[in-house]
């Protein structure tokens, strides 16, 4: 089990017209528990901190605050050796497979390097191990080994980077917007690969996406975390959050999903006051969504709401929301 305790990541930035630098909060006090075999989707708009959070969990960058625990033991990832050990626990499948593959090296050497570095195979068994991994993701291993990345299709390259991540035999897999650059026709196939492989190997799967439909498809029986400006603003069982969203931001995102003709939207439509996402600075203590929230009141600009369990309306005890007025709005709507 991986646990994130109060994880934050801040960047010091010096904007145009600002003499002093300000501390920009990309990930803010995130708490999350992720078990082996569990599928979690993280959903949010571009720039809300999804990839930064993924990089922290994968040990690629260090958090500014907070701890990362593995099976209840605090895990520091500062040295090269610690990073190499963590790479066998968590692997990331990147957003852009083409950018993560060296264009002048054949698939054999792109795949082989990781296996040799992490001592997952000896030199004389390398080809056999790579072929095994390529076959696992449905690529013709004999044909693929000697190709360059540009000689593969988008879907094949995506499956290749899945194979590379799996070759280290991790317990947890993070897919960062892994189908966003693909044709719609290929997406379902690749999403099904993720589900099939993660289920067969009992991997924890963290799927990062800005698309609720993909989150629903991947983690239908799992969990969903909705992120806004570095904060998890709603968390719970996917089916419950999608059918009964509590945070105005989640409601606005669900309202924005285009409907297929003939389908009826069952939740009230919420339209944000502006389309500008903005930034969160360490010296601001307000609700991150207040500037855009159509229901914001004075308190929302003065005090940041914490993520709290919501028990109303028969919700499961895992449904959490960070909104001062979610409960009050629920009560009014149900009168």
Ligand X SMILES: Nc1ncnc2c1ncn2[C@@H]1O[C@H](COP(=O)(O)OP(=O)(O)OP(=O)(O)O)[C@@H](O)[C@H]1O
Which residues of the chain form contacts with ligand X (CB under 6 A)? 11, 26, 44, 46-52, 210
Which residue's Cβ lies closest to ligand X? 51
Looking at the Cβ atoms of 230 and 245, the one nearer to ligand X is 230
Looking at the Cβ atoms of 26 and 134, the one nearer to ligand X is 26
Looking at the Cβ atoms of 77 and 152, the one nearer to ligand X is 77
The DSSP 8-state label assigned to residue 305 in this structure reads P
In the complex, what is the shortest distance from the CB of residue 51 to ligand X, in angstroms, rounded to a whole number?
Answer: 3
Looking at the Cβ atoms of 44 and 288, the one nearer to ligand X is 44
Looking at the Cβ atoms of 43 and 163, the one nearer to ligand X is 43
In the complex, what is the shortest distance from the CB of residue 95 to ligand X, in angstroms, rounded to a whole number?
Answer: 7
Q: How far is CA 246 from the centre of its chain?
A: 20
Q: Report in angstroms the alpha-carbon separations of 73 from 36, 54, 79, 165, 217.
A: 15, 20, 17, 24, 32
> CA torsion sign, 213 to 214 to 215 to 219?
positive
Q: Backbone phi, then psi, for 175, in 5-degree steps?
A: -110, 110
In the complex, what is the shortest distance from the CB of residue 49 to ligand X, in angstroms, rounded to a whole number?
Answer: 4
Looking at the Cβ atoms of 48 and 226, the one nearer to ligand X is 48
In the complex, what is the shortest distance from the CB of residue 278 to ligand X, in angstroms, rounded to a whole number?
Answer: 10
In the complex, what is the shortest distance from the CB of residue 26 to ligand X, in angstroms, rounded to a whole number?
Answer: 4
8 A C-beta contact, residue 134 and residue 145? yes
Burial zone of 317 (CB within 10 Å; 0-12 exposed, 13-18 middle, 19+ buried): exposed
SS3 322: coil
In the complex, what is the shortest distance from the CB of residue 320 to ligand X, in angstroms, rounded to a whole number?
Answer: 20
Query: Closest Cα to residue 10, out of 29, 25, 32?
Result: 25
Query: Closest Cα to residue 246, out of 317, 303, 334, 325?
Result: 325
């Amino acid at each position: 089990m991986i646990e994130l305790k109060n994880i934050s990541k801040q960047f010091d930035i010096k904007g145009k017209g600002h003499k002093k630098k300000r501390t920009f909060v990309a990930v803010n006090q995130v708490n999350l528990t992720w078990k082996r075999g569990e599928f979690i989707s993280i959903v949010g708009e571009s720039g809300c901190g999804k990839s930064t959070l993924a990089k922290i969990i994968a040990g690629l960058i260090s958090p500014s605050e907070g701890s990362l625990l593995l099976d209840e033991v605090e895990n520091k990832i500062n040295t090269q050796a610690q990073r190499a050990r963590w790479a066998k626990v968590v692997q990331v499948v990147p957003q852009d497979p083409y950018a993560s593959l060296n264009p002048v090296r054949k698939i054999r050497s792109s795949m082989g390097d990781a296996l040799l570095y992490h001592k997952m195979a000896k030199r004389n068994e390398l080809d056999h191990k790579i072929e095994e991994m390529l076959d696992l993701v449905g690529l013709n291993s004999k044909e693929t080994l000697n190709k360059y990345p540009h000689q593969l299709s988008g879907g094949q390259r995506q499956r290749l980077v899945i194979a590379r991540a799996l070759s280290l035999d991790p317990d947890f897999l993070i897919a960062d917007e892994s189908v966003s650059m693909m044709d719609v026709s290929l997406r379902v196939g690749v999403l099904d690969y993720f589900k099939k492989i993660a289920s067969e190997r009992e991997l924890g799967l963290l799927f990062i996406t800005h698309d609720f439909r993909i989150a629903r498809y991947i983690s239908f029986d799992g969990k969903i975390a909705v992120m806004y400006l570095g904060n998890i603003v709603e968390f719970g069982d996917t089916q419950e959050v999608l059918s009964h969203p509590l945070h105005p931001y989640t409601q606005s995102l669900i309202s924005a999903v285009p409907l297929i003709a003939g389908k009826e939207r069952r939740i009230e439509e919420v339209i944000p006051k502006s389309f500008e996402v903005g930034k969160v600075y360490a010296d601001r203590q307000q609700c991150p969504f207040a500037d855009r929230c159509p229901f914001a009141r004075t308190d929302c600009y003065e005090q940041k709401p914490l993520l709290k369990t919501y028990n109303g309306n028969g919700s499961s005890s895992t449904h959490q929301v960070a909104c001062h007025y979610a409960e009050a709005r629920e009560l009014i709507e149900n009168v």
